[in-house]
Amino acid sequence: MYVERKWQVNREKNEHARSCPGLVMSLKETVGQRIEAVIPLKLPGKSPMSILVFEGGRFFIASDPGEVQPPELLGAIEAVRTTIGSFFPDFYQKLDRLSSEDREMQRLARLENILGAIRNNASQIPELMEAVKSLLSEMEAGTAAPSCLPDPDRKDSGTA
């Protein structure tokens, strides 16, 4: 349920980002307008881009050839927020709401996935239920160390 809602909210957030009223898809739309700022943008794992900000809150994302993908678009919209946010407060308010809901749905989807993995594997891994109970007890006591595998030296951790 949360996984599907997360995808739905994410899609809605990306569609909203593409509808940004200041976004210019072609430099031809800016002929005669003055450039007010050039903002460099480097996102992890992406080629560097520049954002040209024009008068009136309009902006163009100058990147490698090809369509700007949602992570780049969202990064660019955030990068120009201080420059153009006052022109489009309703747009940014809705984007913030969708981003917050997206993060919450991601959190709940992770919970759903973890619980589903436990349910789906409990019958095939008899020690799973005891290991989960033990982990919860350790976490409540504040003694759980970060790890992906049970501690083989513990008597109650089962065998790996």
User: Please, what are the averages of pLDDT over each run of 10 residues along the chain (160 residues)?
Assistant: 94 97 94 96 89 96 83 95 97 98 97 95 94 92 76 52
CB atoms within 10 A of CB 75: 21
pLDDT of amino acid 160? 42
Q: What are phi and psi of 36, to 5 degrees?
A: -95, -25
Q: What are phi and psi of 53, to 5 degrees?
A: -105, 125
Q: Which two tokens stand for residue 125?
A: 């891994």
DSSP 159: -
pLDDT of amino acid 37? 96
Residue 78: which residues within 8 A CB-CB, separation 6 or more?
Answer: none
pLDDT of amino acid 144? 80
Distance CA 123, CA 115 (A): 14
pLDDT of amino acid 11? 97
pLDDT of amino acid 63? 84
Query: Do 71 and 14 touch, CB atoms closer than 8 A?
Result: no
Query: Do 72 and 60 touch, CB atoms closer than 8 A?
Result: no
